[in-house]
Amino acid sequence: MATLLQQLINGLVLGGLIALIALGYTMVYGIIQLINFAHGEVFMVGGFASLATYSYFIPESWRSDWWVALPLMALGGALVAVILAVIMERFAYRPLRNAPRLAPLITALGVSVVLKEAVRLFYPGATAPVPFPRVFVDEQYTFEIFDGTITIGSTAILMIAVSVIGAVVLQTYITKSRMGRAMRATAQDPDTARLMGVNPNRTIVLTFVIGAALAGIAGVLYGIQITNVDTEVGFLYGIFAFTAAVLGGVGSIKGAVIGGFAIGLIKSLAGQYFPGGTQYDLVWIFVLLIVVLVFRPQGLFGEPERVRA
Amino acid sequence: MNIPIGWKYLAIFIPSVLGLIGLLVLIRFAWKKGTEYVTPRPTLSRPLSIGGAALGIVAALMPWATFVLNEGAYPDKSTLQFFDSPWAVSGFRLHTLLLSLVALAVVFAPIRKHRIHKALGWSLIGIALINAAFIAGNGGGFGAITSDGSSFAFGAVIGLVAGIALVFSGKAGPVEPIPHLSTDVSRVVAYAVLVVSFTALLLGVAMMLNAGGQGGVGNPYAGPIFLSLLAFFAGVLGALHAVGVTGWISRLSDKHKWFSIVVLLAVALGLPFTEAGTDYWMTTATNIGVYAATAIGLNIVVGLAGLLDLGYVAFLGIGAFVAANFSGAAAAKMGFELPFLVAVIIAAIVAGVFGAVVGSPTLRVRGDYLAIVTLAFGEIFKKSAQNDIGGLTGGANAIPGVPPINWFGLSFDKPLEIAGVKLPSGVMYYVLIIVLVALVMVVFANLKNSRIGRSWIAIREDEDAARAMGIKTGKAKILAFLIGATLAGVAGAVFAHKTSTVAYDSFQFIESVTLLAAVILGGMGSIPGAVLGAALLLVLPEKLREFADYRLILFGFALILIMRFRPQGLVPDKHRRAELANEGAEGVPIEELNLPDDTPGGAKAQVAR
Amino acid sequence: MRNQTVKAAVLVAGALLLAACGTNKEETGAGGGNQACDQSKGTLVIGVIAPQSGGLSALGLGIKNSAQLAADQANEKCAVKGYKLQVQTEDDQATAQVGAQAATRLSSNANVVGVIGTLNSSVAQSVQPILKGKNILMVSPANTAPSLTRGGEYATAPKRDFENYFRVCATDDLQGPFAAKYLVGKAGKKNIAIITDGKTYGEGLAAEFKKQAEKDGAKIAATAKVGERDTDFSTVITSIKGANPDAVYYGGEYPQAGPLSKQMKDAGLNVPVMGGDGIFDQKFIDLGGKEGDLATSVGAPTETLPSAKAFIDAYKAKGFKDDYSAYGAFSYDAANVIIASLGKTLGDAGTWGEDKRADLIKNTQDYSAQGATGEVKFDKYGDSTNKLLTVYKVTAGKWAADETGTFGG
């Protein structure tokens, strides 16, 4: 029982992280039907950028106070992620908007390789995992229940909280604000949206920016939770997040969050209870993905795919 | 308060990036202005070209480095003093001299010279930049290529100016069309031309492979030597193209298709007899062959049927593991050894079956989603192989000790002696893989022009329309996966015996990306393209070992840039390039089709066909 | 006119940018080296095959630099008469296929006398046959799989397949049991969980550990595997936590082991993690290795051996960018084995050629000297006779030697 509960908690923590990244995938796909393969790497870069903020940009005396250091790190991570996303959109994806659909996908693959390698080559010590300071309150809360104990850390609680709050804010923004309406309009029909006075380019950039900022924040949260960053994590979590977005239905905010938590739970429960244990948890996630795609291609909360004019 | 160190770096970093961008913008601006200036002034062409060629000759005879570099003399006496010994220049300086002399000769020849000068000019610019960058970067700063104390070396700078002058001389005046040489020549002449040109190609390839040795401590400058030679060959090829020779040869080989194929095969088999006939290149060439065969298989799936597969290397792995298990290796699951040919067939069948399984979601899943599904299959394969699923893959221990192929007592890993010529070990693998690639190419070519090939292309263009035309799209798509996977399985069987250890980590995601990059670089749907792409992606890292660490990042940039600027690839497929690059079916850019054409029935008429 | 202004601006900007890089002219003639030695016969090459990129590059770079150090010292001391020695490093990216290609590249160079490598046993499997085909000496600083020297049936029917292969480090079937003896016997842990990373090194080591630990009366409470690229180990930790282990043995390398140790502590499983020489690196502690974590490593602690001290001092004096790491001293010894055997083979006037390769291997077999890791000598399978092992413990943020001994069965 304690094990099950603990695994559920592990799953939710991982799920919160995946959900934050998945939001970026789902928004970008929703608006320009592009699988932004590089999004996972943007998350990784966000982690490294926030680490750089901590180790190279804020004075040592500020580092001990988490309410100073953590927001600055999040800012640094998100800022670099956003700059990257804007450059990426402007120079790699925008010129290909009317190209055959394979072209931007392959470009995205190229961008992801470039980002990963750039960090590996130019961040000091990034050829191996780099230690990350646990800037936040370092507390572990332990509870005694029926047949054992369960533990949850303060960073884990922060992770879940941020992802849920982030998703709620985002959902409100998209449904209520003027810019959000523009986004939905562009997603449905860019040409008509333009006629209605929406600037599609600006809207698309904004979408990239929001997604990247969330990924940057996810990078910080990942760092303080796992206490190291590594150039490899972008690919792995990118895949998880993409799977979550597909599972929830690409284009749906609610879907991405629920999908994220579902993937997190599956990973931890499969690792514990399924044959093969942690060695095959990835396999179970992929099996689920394939099954969902084959039997419900629009995902749990998505709309059936439209053929774009 | 101490300012943290990052801000200082940022204070250097941002201005340098801005400066670099500014520099690029300036260069681009100057280039544009220069072009605008010379284009309406055809009279400038002659003085510019004579001046450029003369400068090129001077550059070749000038020293290029002011002092001997740390790792020993830069290749071919680049510190050689001005006119000390004009006949002793060699290497890239000899190439510079040759290019400049040709440029000078062309000025006085009664042919269209604009394109020739442009090609030669670009080649000179390339050689100058490569060597300048290397000497300055490796030898220490700007002083190494200009003047340093008592010695001076402006070779690179003058070479660069010469190249620019030549390029601009080619821009002065209207664009000239490429001459269209007639292919109505007698069979004997055509055959002779083909044999000579393919042999020249072979010698050129061998020379490039051997340029600067194998690198490493013995040959620290292999990288720049190779790149310079590449720039030189590019210039020569460009000049030949400008006089219409390459187009002529390619049309001749189209006309005498079977003869060209035979010659090409013979030429490829001749590689072990050239200077590139070493163990090392035989091994590399075999690896290229394995990748090329696999890339051709992938080309069926991606290039023809338009189904992006990101887990394709799994089929290579399946083929390799199957062959390893039937090889009699100690760690193999099957305790017996099957003849290689039988093992190949089993490997192909098993890989093909898995291909069909992986392809089956295509019935429901489309486009980008399919890419993810295939990626998922690739990862599942890797995980399973890593965990020694069913005891078939050896797990973390891999399957070591796969014996070399042995036919009629001839072990494939031993050196060979034919008629007194000693051939390197691994040559039999090379022969095997050449034959295999040739077979795969034939299969692909026939498929492409068959009914099923046409239905693949139809599906790629518009699946709904294809279905409306009565194509059974589901069956066709699964068949594409099945055939592609079969080819990869065959390649995997060779791979297993050649590498002797089959481990799961040879079949990771990045290998799938490499294969995809080979297909894209060469040109989607193009047969020679896939082979060329695989060759480039494996040869370049071997030659440019200095940049080994940057291999993947360059690779990523290449993917981005190709998609942006040349989505049809290096050797585009005829139909494909028409859609991807707004070109006519014969590869002539649309804007050039509007030029006055001096050859009736030439490019323009063929487009209209 | 305007064009010229622009061009001038371009040139000036270019000059400024390039000048910013500065000139660092430093001419040392044709590659440096002490000209006091006779090097008239040319250059002989010692190959190194080890990962130079990727997660294990810290170990690989240490191997490369230490080999370089040995070669430099040999050049200064004229250890090989008439020849200059150079080190050529090939990156195997820790994968078998790339390693095989690197081996082919080295083996097609007639001047390559011997190869130091590899780091990973899985890569060694594919390198061995290629080098054997050319009869090239191979000395590994780090391969621990027993089968490399004694064949697949190493425990029952040992058989040497590769006469050209030697190693200066101890094998899993020494290191694993030694760790078990310490953990069960001395530390008194009776309920041990085993976690592995699914790679050759970790699996082999953990299997040998398990055999001995069970023999000594400990209970293997749980076993689990982590993915080689995993970073979040919460699932694995929870799954073993139920069994209440009092220690965890980790078969794998430091990039995973460090974070694992830290996350165990976070999850309320505050028991020591023990591993092999793959986690014996300062990076393990930087990444979260906690006080009381244990690692075994081959040889006596480097501080206690004068020869080891000399190595460390020389290494530091060279100013390499990277640390010598877990296998630096072994790589140094391996290089010295090759160099000394080569010097003996060539004598005062010998000339290198293919016919010398067999002599070189024979001389290596007979080699015996005191190295940076203790006595370096080979048994009839090519294994090191140095069975000395040391247990290290994380104390005050550093690895500190805890116990040195030999495993006696």
pLDDT, position C21: 38
Are residues B70 and C27 in contact, defined by beta-carbon separation less than 8 angstroms?
A: yes
Q: Does C231 touch chain A (CB under 8 A)?
A: yes
Q: Which residues of C279-296 are buried (b: 16+ CB within 10 A; e: fewer)?
A: bbbbbbbbbbbbebbbbb
Residue C389 CA to residue C405 CA, distance in Å, equals 6
Are residues C30 and B72 in contact, defined by beta-carbon separation less than 8 angstroms?
A: yes
Q: Please judge whether B2 and A60 are an interchain contact, meaning their C-beta atoms are less than 8 angstroms apart.
A: yes
Query: Strands B151-152 and B147-148: what pairing?
Result: antiparallel
| Closest CA relative to residue A301, chosen from A256, A270, A236, A234 | A256
pLDDT, position C34: 46
Average pLDDT rounded to a whole number, residues B431-447: 89
On the question of pLDDT at C1 being above 60, the answer is no
Q: Does C397 touch chain A (CB under 8 A)?
A: no
Q: How much is the mean pLDDT over chain B?
A: 82
Q: Which residues of C10-41 are buried (b: 16+ CB within 10 A; e: fewer)?
A: beebeeeebeeeebebeeeeeeebeeebebeb
Are residues C339 and C85 in contact, defined by beta-carbon separation less than 8 angstroms?
A: yes
- B-contacting residues of C 77-116, CB under 8 Å? 86-88, 90-91, 94-97, 100-101, 104-105, 107-109, 111
Residue B166 CA to residue B170 CA, distance in Å, equals 6
pLDDT, position B587: 47
Instruction: Find chain A residues with C-beta within 8 A of C196's C-beta.
Output: none
pLDDT, position C13: 47
3-class secondary structure, A5: helix
Residue B494 CA to residue B432 CA, distance in Å, equals 9
What is the block-wise mean pLDDT of chain A (309 residues), using blocks of 10 residues?
88 94 90 88 96 90 86 94 94 86 86 92 84 86 82 91 93 90 87 89 93 95 91 90 87 90 91 80 86 82 56
Q: Which of C96, C145, C204 sits opposite B506 (nearest CB)?
A: C96
Q: Does A272 touch chain C (CB under 8 A)?
A: yes
Residue of A83, A286, A288, A298 best to disrupt the B interface, most CBs of B under 10 A: A286
Fold of domain C173-298+390-406: Rossmann fold (3.40.50)
Give the A:B interface size as CB pairs under 8 Å: 140
Q: How far is C28 from chain A (nearest CA, A)?
A: 29
Average pLDDT rounded to a whole number, residues C155-168: 88
pLDDT band at B70 (very low <50, low <70, confident <90, very high): low
Residue B202 CA to residue B267 CA, distance in Å, equals 6
- A-contacting residues of C 248-277, CB under 8 Å? 255, 258-259, 262-263, 266-268
CA B262 to chain centre: 22
Q: Please judge whether B553 and A112 are an interchain contact, meaning their C-beta atoms are less than 8 angstroms apart.
A: no
3-class secondary structure, C115: strand
pLDDT, position C20: 39
Q: What is the pTM of this model?
A: 0.87
Range name among A31-40, B505-514, C6-15 with the lowest pLDDT average = C6-15
Instruction: Find chain B residues with C-beta within 8 A of C200's C-beta.
Output: 396-398
Q: How far is A267 from chain C (nearest CA, A)?
A: 8
Q: How much is the mean pLDDT over chain C?
A: 83
Between residues B401 and A132, the one the model is more confident about:
A132
Domains of chain B: 42-250 (no CATH), 280-546 (1.10.3470)
DSSP string, B129-154: HHHHHHHHHHHTTGGGTSEETTEE--
On the question of pLDDT at B415 being above 80, the answer is no
Residue B570 CA to residue A27 CA, distance in Å, equals 35
Q: Please judge whether C267 and A226 are an interchain contact, meaning their C-beta atoms are less than 8 angstroms apart.
A: no
> How many of the other CB atoms lie within 10 Å of CB of C367?
19
Residue B502 CA to residue C126 CA, distance in Å, equals 9
pLDDT, position A39: 94
User: Considering just the CA atoms, what is the radius of gyration of chain A in Å?
Assistant: 19
Q: CATH 3.40.50.2300 residue ranges in chain C?
A: 43-170+302-378, 173-298+390-406
ipTM for this prediction: 0.89
- A-contacting residues of C 50-69, CB under 8 Å? 53-58
- C-contacting residues of A 89-118, CB under 8 Å? none
Work out whether the CA dihedral B426, B427, B428, B433 comes out positive or negative: positive
Please name the residue that has the structure tokens 């849920």: A164
Q: Please judge whether C13 and B400 are an interchain contact, meaning their C-beta atoms are less than 8 angstroms apart.
A: no
Q: Please judge whether C239 and A14 are an interchain contact, meaning their C-beta atoms are less than 8 angstroms apart.
A: no
Q: Does B18 touch chain C (CB under 8 A)?
A: no
On the question of pLDDT at B520 being above 90, the answer is no
Q: Please judge whether C55 and A128 are an interchain contact, meaning their C-beta atoms are less than 8 angstroms apart.
A: yes
Range name among B219-233, C252-266, C275-289 with the lowest pLDDT average = B219-233
Token readout for B41 is 């002034």
CA C187 to chain centre: 28
Range name among B88-92, C37-41, C270-274 with the lowest pLDDT average = B88-92
Q: Does A1 touch chain C (CB under 8 A)?
A: no
E strands present in B62-116: none
Cis peptide before B96 (omega within 30 of 0): no
Residue of C95, C97, C135 best to disrupt the B interface, most CBs of B under 10 A: C97
**Side-chain-facing half-sphere of C319: CA atoms under 13 Å:** 0
Q: Please judge whether C95 and B503 are an interchain contact, meaning their C-beta atoms are less than 8 angstroms apart.
A: yes
DSSP letter at B581?
A: S
Between residues B277 and C163, the one the model is more confident about:
C163
Task: Give pLDDT tens digits for B146-205.
Answer: 666 666 677 788 889 999 999 998 888 777 788 888 878 888 888 998 999 999 989 988
Domains of chain A: 2-295 (1.10.3470)
Q: Please judge whether A131 and C286 are an interchain contact, meaning their C-beta atoms are less than 8 angstroms apart.
A: yes
Q: How far is C301 from chain B (nearest CA, A)?
A: 30
Residue C81 CA to residue C168 CA, distance in Å, equals 25
Q: Does A291 touch chain B (CB under 8 A)?
A: no
Query: Strands A140-145 and C273-275: what pairing?
Result: unpaired
Question: Domain C43-170+302-378 has what CATH class?
Answer: alpha beta
Average pLDDT rounded to a whole number, residues C22-46: 59
pLDDT, position A222: 95
Q: B276 φ, ψ to 5°?
A: -85, 5
Between residues C183 and C308, the one the model is more confident about:
C183
Residue B6 CA to residue A58 CA, distance in Å, equals 9
Task: Give pLDDT tens digits for B367-387.
Answer: 778 888 888 899 899 888 888
On the question of pLDDT at C24 being above 70, the answer is no
Residue C202 CA to residue C210 CA, distance in Å, equals 12
pLDDT, position C392: 93
3-class secondary structure, B423: strand
pLDDT, position C17: 44
Provide the β-strand partners of residue B147.
B152
Residue B295 CA to residue B484 CA, distance in Å, equals 9
Task: Give pLDDT tens digits for B523-537.
Answer: 888 888 889 999 988
| Helix and strand counts by DSSP (H, E) for chain C | 13, 14
Q: How far is A177 from chain B (nearest CA, A)?
A: 30
Instruction: Find chain C residues with C-beta within 8 A of A232's C-beta.
Output: 55, 229, 231
Q: Please judge whether A293 and B5 are an interchain contact, meaning their C-beta atoms are less than 8 angstroms apart.
A: no
On the question of pLDDT at C323 being above 90, the answer is no
pLDDT, position B584: 46
Let me know how long chain A is.
Answer: 309
